[in-house]
Chain A
Amino acid sequence: MARAALLGRLTWQRAEVVDIRVETARAKTLVFAVPGWSGHRAGQHVDVRLTAEDGYRAERSYSIASAPDGSRIELTVERLGDGEVSPYLTDELRPGDAIELRGPVGGYFVWEPTDGGPLLLVAGGSGVVPLMAMLRVRAAARSDVETRLLLSSRSWDDALYREELEGLSGTGLRVVHTLTRSQPPGWTGYARRVDAEMLAEVGFDPAERPRAYVCGPTPFVESVAAALVALGHDPQAVRTERFGPTGG
């Protein structure tokens, strides 16, 4: 079954927008119908291709946010101010529009419940998207793998999937937020960038041999991965996905 997902059709295919949900002021979740979609694993992504009328093309990669659901997949896209593709996806796309995508791809940055845990997920901004797919797959499988998510966001309003994460918490899942630029009144949580001290407090002891997944902007991933290794975690057990300078 897993192998079928790995060897799925890998050519550009048409994907039609069937629904759009607002997540935050900057981010939307796009729901696509992809005929013949053969499923995917949590952590995989798709390459999206847009072609303008004069033939100009742009390609970007987006992590799949949803757990497998027939021929539907969801992408959560954050609008980058000076982006070429993300503003089109968040501001222009309407149900009925079509894009091209290729995937699912990725086999390194994936997790499935049978991989076990404990599971440490560390996300910077939109880096939470592939990790959310992991949590959704975990929930769908009614897995009780001990899991901790540390999510770094600019502000509470920017934190993706807040309500859903709250709903998932407790079933062996602990969610910790850190808000790096502004905090709501009365905030008693972390209010700084992820550092070794925070990871030691929130994460698992290296002796528990957790599987760690770190995703977000490149500087964030570099810093967190280095800190985890410095804390004693096995580098081979820390998997990373870098989104480039500013994120997805």
Chain B
Amino acid sequence: MDELMLDGNAVAGLLREVFAVEMTTAVAVCDGCGAADAMGATRVFRGAGIVMRCPHCDNVLATLVEAETRMWVGLQGIRTLYVADLDTGEQ
């Protein structure tokens, strides 16, 4: 266990800038071990860019590289991303 490790909550703001909905509650199915976890519960490491890893098997789920007005989102290890909070426009 690394002291420096964070969790998906730490990148909530970054993800929100790219995706139209709150992403920490989105559930990612890991293509390494099949576990399904909320993005907020993933392990986050800060390297040259951000690496999100499966909390069960450490597989890289996603990478985020931010460059001022550009962002690269790698979804390498997410087999499926399930979003339950879509805004249908209803009040």
A residues with CB within 8 A of B? 3, 6-7, 10-11, 45-47, 61, 102-103, 105-109, 217-219, 222, 239-245
> Which B residues are CB-close (under 8 A) to A61?
9-10, 13
> Which A residues are CB-close (under 8 A) to B12?
45, 105-108
Determine the main DSSP class of A at the interface with B.
Answer: mixed
Q: Which of A10, A109, A219, A245 contacts B9 (CB 8 A)?
A: A109
> Which B residues are CB-close (under 8 A) to A3?
85, 87
Chain B residue at smallest Cβ distance from A61: B10
Interface size on B, residues (CB 8 A): 26
Contact A218 B3 (CB under 8 A): yes
> Which A residues are CB-close (under 8 A) to B2?
218
**How many pairs, one residue from A and one from B, have CB atoms within 8 Å of each other in the complex?**
79
Q: Determine how close the nearest CB of chain B comes to the CB of A34; give it in whole angstroms.
A: 15
Bitwise, B12-26 to A at CB < 8 A (1) or not (0) is: 110011001111110
B residues with CB within 8 A of A? 1-10, 12-13, 16-17, 20-25, 38-41, 85, 87
| Contact of A10 with B3 at beta-carbon distance under 8 Å, contacts A107-B22, A108-B40 already known | no
> Which B residues are CB-close (under 8 A) to A45?
9, 12
Contact A218 B85 (CB under 8 A): no
The answer for the CA separation of A6 and B3 in the assembled complex, in Å, is 30
Chain B residue at smallest Cβ distance from A215: B9
Contact A106 B40 (CB under 8 A): yes
Contact B7 A102 (CB under 8 A): no
Looking at B7, B9, B21, B41, the one whose CB has the most chain A CB atoms below 10 A away is: B9
> Which B residues are CB-close (under 8 A) to A103?
13
Q: Determine how close the nearest CB of chain B comes to the CB of A243; give it in whole angstroms.
A: 8
| Contact of A244 with B13 at beta-carbon distance under 8 Å, contacts A107-B25, A107-B85, A222-B1 already known | no
> Which B residues are CB-close (under 8 A) to A244?
3-4, 6
The answer for the CA separation of A108 and B28 in the assembled complex, in Å, is 13
Contact B9 A108 (CB under 8 A): yes
Contact A245 B3 (CB under 8 A): yes
